[in-house]
Amino acid sequence: MKSNLTAEQIVNYLCQQCEASLQFLQSLCQQKMFPEHLLRNKELCEKGGVLFLARAILKLNVIPPFVESSRVVAAVSRLKAKVLSILLSLCESESLSYLDDVASSPGSLDLAKSVALEVFGLLKTGLGRDPKHPRQGQEIQKELQII
């Protein structure tokens, strides 16, 4: 059976699947005990598993064939927002410090620095525009979707 799905539909479907997984992880992080259990997992914290995931998602860029697709741009923006929310939940954990775990290993510390650079890059994209340069409504909307 031959599929009639377009590339945009396939990318959108993959983004939806990734978003569903991140949504599940995000909902777990909002439960009181889960972040603490996660923080005790050496593979995910000290060895950088969560940071690898965050960096991979934050590095996602919408390439030219899909830049005009508001669905794909919005999906990638939601992925980035969810992974930032997950990182924030871990950093705000009360009993164990995610940041201390990350800092305890040179490898995960370097990875954390690269994640921070990606976050700063997103902020620079969103906030680094010349306020005197008038922009069209569609241009502003696309920039907000990217962030």
Write the pLDDT tens digit of every residue in 65-108: 888 888 999 999 999 999 999 888 888 776 567 777 777 778 88
Cβ neighbour number for residue 70 with a 10 Å cutoff:
13
Give the SS3 label for residue 6. Answer: coil
What per-residue confidence (pLDDT) applies to 147? 45
pTM of the model: 0.75
What per-residue confidence (pLDDT) applies to 132? 59
What per-residue confidence (pLDDT) applies to 138? 56
Q: What is the mean pLDDT of residues 104-127?
A: 84
Q: How far apart, in Å, are the Cα atoms of 8 and each of 23, 28, 92, 98? A: 22, 30, 37, 37
Q: Would the pLDDT of 19 be above 60?
A: yes
Confidence of residue 139 (pLDDT cuts 50, 70, 90): low
Given a contact cutoff of 8 angstroms between Cβ atoms, the answer to whether 133 and 74 are in contact is no
Mean pLDDT rounded to a whole number for the chain: 80
What per-residue confidence (pLDDT) applies to 109? 84
